[in-house]
Amino acid sequence: MVSRDGDEVLHLERRGRVALLTLDRPGRLNAIGTDTIAQLAAALDSIESDSELRAIVITGAGRAFSAGADITELDRLSGPADFARFAKALTDVLDRLSACPIVSVAAVNGLAFGGGFELALACDLRLASPSARFGVPEIKLGLLPAAAGTQRLSRLLPVTVAKYLLFTGEPLSAERALHYGVLNEVLDDVLGAALALGESLAGGPPASLAAAKRLVDVGLTMPLASAIVLERETVAGLFASEDRIEGISAFLEKRPPIFGGR
């Protein structure tokens, strides 16, 4: 992915059925600027148009996942309207990642602050190295997270913990993030584990994975009774799929299923 000025700040590569996205501005701790946002949107275009890709892994080059929004770029903005446009562009691409039917895994190899933390929060699953740290330090700049960070944090964490992070700007260690459920696992070879998890997920039935993601994300916004109806109707639809037939046949025949995505 190449920006208008020729700088490649995000790499997209295929690892089997897994799309690996790598933020690549290690000298700037993978700070997120307008170019990163545009290249992430373009990468999602490519991924969603490739029927062979079944999972996404996102990581950062060097010693950071992402230090957040590019402060140098923010400093050049002329006022609130410019900032609102930047924040909306980042929010839109993160919302798109969050809503993507393909399951995503963040491989957090170092610090994930501000917009970098928001990027990790937009993924479905999160693995991290023991040295990773997570925070929303915008309060120290007289700001707050503006790409759904206040909202995703308060839905994922206990409210008092979310408020503490937002009020103080102090980071969470990987161990504490795991304790609070921000992470699925903490391990040394975080990228290797994320790619292995992605490949394992890629072997599953795509429609069922997409439906599971949607039922959780959408169901949380609905009254319980309505969400239960949605669940029943969704799973009834899956019952007509070829992958359901393959799954049950494989179970009865005591063999691994081979899901074709139909």
Pair 60, 128 in one domain: yes
Residue 258 lies in a domain: no
Pair 103, 91 in one domain: yes
What pLDDT does residue 2 have? Answer: 39
The predicted model gives 202-211 an average pLDDT of: 94
Over 173-196, what HEC string results?
EHHHHHHCCCCCEECCCHHHHHHH
Range of the domain at 213: 206-252
Residue 68 lies in a domain: yes
Q: What is the pTM of this model?
A: 0.94
Percent of the chain past pLDDT 70, that is, above it, reads 98
Residue 40 lies in a domain: yes
Q: How confident is the model at residue 261 (pLDDT cuts 50, 70, 90)?
A: confident
Pair 126, 242 in one domain: no
What element of type H or E holds 244? helix 242-252
What pLDDT does residue 259 have? Answer: 87
Pair 100, 198 in one domain: yes
Pair 120, 211 in one domain: no
Residue 129 lies in a domain: yes
From the CB of residue 129, how many other CB atoms can be counted at a distance below 10 Å?
A: 19
Q: How many domains does the chain have?
A: 2
Q: How confident is the model at residue 23 (pLDDT cuts 50, 70, 90)?
A: very high
State the catalytic residues.
Answer: 118, 138
What pLDDT does residue 42 have? Answer: 97
The predicted model gives 85-93 an average pLDDT of: 97
What pLDDT does residue 5 have? Answer: 42
Residue 1 lies in a domain: no
Q: How confident is the model at residue 1 (pLDDT cuts 50, 70, 90)?
A: very low
In this predicted structure, the answer to whether residue 226 has a pLDDT above a threshold of 80 is yes
Pair 171, 222 in one domain: no
- pLDDT single digits (tens) 113-158: 999 999 999 999 999 999 999 999 999 999 999 999 999 999 999 9
Pair 140, 190 in one domain: yes
Pair 40, 114 in one domain: yes
Interstrand relation of 18-23 and 10-15 (parallel, antiparallel or unpaired) = antiparallel
What element of type H or E holds 233? helix 224-238
Whole-angstrom Cα distance, residue 262 to residue 208? 10
Pair 58, 85 in one domain: yes
Pair 59, 135 in one domain: yes
State the CATH number of the domain containing residue 133: 3.90.226.10
State the CATH number of the domain containing residue 243: 1.10.12
What pLDDT does residue 201 have? Answer: 96
> How far is it between the farthest Cα atoms of the chain?
65
Mean of per-residue pLDDT scores for the chain? 94
What pLDDT does residue 3 have? Answer: 36
Pair 216, 190 in one domain: no
In this predicted structure, the answer to whether residue 6 has a pLDDT above a threshold of 60 is no
